[in-house]
């Protein structure tokens, strides 16, 4: 596939990740618990997906609540106050309300009164899209601090009677604080995003405001999505690395969208990476869509100390299809 045909690109460093935070709802649902009501087993789910459990939001707990909790943790690590934030972008496909945006709900919860707030919907690729947009706006408008959040309540678009999808998804949120600096060789070096709407049928909800006046439930052709995920995520990682003049082997961490451990293993193998270079946290929280990359980064940071100069890349594929990668030099 010709990558340059339908993608947007950025080449410029300086916008650094200075804080990371995440939040998972309290209620944990194990594979065994799902097997009580679905024709499935813990063994099948572990072997085919690597997932052992997922977290499910409580009644009255919304995407904005998850997002705000993750944001507060990221702000604390960054030692940045809410009123210093210029831009809030939330990647979500499961907003609190059709409008206003979930980002404005979060702005209110945080008291981030100076910020411009907006949502980005690129489904599971949402966090990479949001980073790309935030980076571009920071460079072109001059925002100093941005809060980029991935937050989802996937449990609310899950068909709990469909064993093909109900076992895969969970709720959660992750956030990064970005700061504009003059260190052009650090921060987001390059990112790439792409979309191909000819694949909308392979992964979608069967409802929406304009069609059914409901959110609908999720449907996925798993095998097809799997194949596209490996191919497109690897291609975009290779593209970002090539632009930065490095090979994927030089990456300290690949932080892929956490959909299925077998997808991640296939990507790592194709890119020639060792196990320790590929972050895998899907077992703990299942597929949390746009939240999964910052959640995985936060998990990784508990075990890996990132040094100045380390290359970290985020990559994802989501419904649409939408996909992309974002290369950061720590």
CA distances from 28 to 60, 140, 166 (A): 16, 42, 14
Q: Residues with Cβ < 8 Å from 258, sequence gap 6 or more? A: 264, 280, 281, 282, 285, 286, 287, 288, 292, 293, 295, 296
Q: Across 12-58, where does the E strand assignment appear? A: 15-23, 27-30, 53-56
Q: 36 vs 182, which CB is nearer to ligand UT7?
A: 36
55 catalytic per annotation: no
C-alpha dihedral (249, 254, 256, 258), degrees to nearest 10: 120
188 binds ligand UT7 (CB under 6 A): no
31 catalytic per annotation: no
Among the listed ranges 70-78, 107-115, 143-151, 222-230, the one in contact with ligand UT7 (CB under 6 A) is 222-230
Give the integer Cα–Cα distance in Å for 38 and 207: 23
In whole angstroms, how close is the CB of 322 to ligand UT7 at the nearest point?
A: 10
In whole angstroms, how close is the CB of 38 to ligand UT7 at the nearest point?
A: 7
Q: By CB under 6 A, what part of segment 285-304 binds ligand UT7?
A: 287
Q: 45 vs 146, which CB is nearer to ligand UT7?
A: 45
x/- string (CB under 6 A) for ligand UT7, residues 59-98?
A: ----------------------------------------
Residue (of 115, 145, 107, 172) closest to 18 by Cα position: 145
Q: How far is CA 166 from the centre of its chain?
A: 19
Residue (of 34, 55, 31) closest to 43 by Cα position: 31
CA distances from 305 to 15, 79, 173, 300 (A): 20, 19, 22, 9
Structure-token pair, residue 225: 């999505």
330 binds ligand UT7 (CB under 6 A): no
- Of the CA atoms within 13 Å of residue 127, those in its CB half-sphere come to 32
Q: 139 vs 163, which CB is nearer to ligand UT7?
A: 163
Q: 15 vs 281, which CB is nearer to ligand UT7?
A: 281
In whole angstroms, how close is the CB of 284 to ligand UT7 at the nearest point?
A: 16
x/- string (CB under 6 A) for ligand UT7, residues 260-289?
A: x--x-----------------------x--
161 catalytic per annotation: no
> What is the binding site for ligand UT7 (CB under 6 A)?
40, 44, 48-49, 124, 163-164, 167, 222-223, 225-226, 229, 259-260, 263, 287, 317-318
Residues tagged active-site: 124, 257, 287
């Amino acid at each position: 596939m010709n990558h340059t045909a339908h993608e947007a690109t950025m080449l410029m460093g300086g916008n650094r990740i200075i804080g990371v935070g995440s939040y998972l709802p309290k209620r944990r649902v194990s594979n065994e618990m799902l097997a009580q009501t679905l024709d499935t087993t813990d063994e099948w789910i572990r072997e085919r997906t690597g997932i052992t459990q997922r977290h499910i939001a409580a009644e009255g707990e919304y995407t904005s609540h998850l997002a705000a909790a993750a944001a507060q943790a990221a702000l604390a690590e960054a030692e940045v106050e809410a009123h210093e934030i210029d831009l809030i972008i939330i990647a979500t496909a499961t907003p609190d309300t059709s409008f206003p945006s979930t980002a404005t709900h979060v702005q209110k919860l945080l008291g981030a009164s100076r910020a411009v707030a907006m949502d980005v919907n690129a489904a599971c690729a949402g966090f990479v899209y949001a980073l790309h947009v935030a980076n571009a706006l920071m460079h072109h408008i001059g925002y100093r601090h941005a809060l980029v959040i991935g937050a989802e309540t996937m449990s609310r678009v899950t068909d709990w009677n469909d064993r093909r999808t109900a076992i895969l998804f969970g709720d959660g949120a992750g956030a990064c604080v970005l700061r504009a600096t003059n260190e052009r060789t650090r921060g987001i070096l390059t990112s790439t995003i792409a979309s191909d709407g000819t694949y909308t049928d392979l992964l979608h909800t069967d409802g929406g405001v304009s069609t059914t006046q409901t959110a609908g439930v999720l449907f996925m052709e798993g095998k097809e999505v799997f194949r596209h995920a490996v191919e497109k995520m690897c291609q975009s990682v290779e593209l970002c690395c090539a632009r930065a003049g490095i090979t994927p082997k030089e990456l300290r961490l690949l932080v892929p969208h956490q959909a299925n451990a077998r997808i991640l293993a296939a990507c790592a193998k194709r890119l020639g990476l060792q196990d320790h270079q590929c972050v895998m946290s899907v077992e703990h929280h299942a597929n949390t869509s746009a939240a999964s990359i910052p959640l995985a980064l936060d998990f990784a940071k508990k075990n890996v100390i990132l040094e100045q100069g380390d290359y970290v890349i985020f990559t994802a594929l989501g419904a649409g299809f939408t996909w992309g990668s974002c290369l950061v030099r720590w």
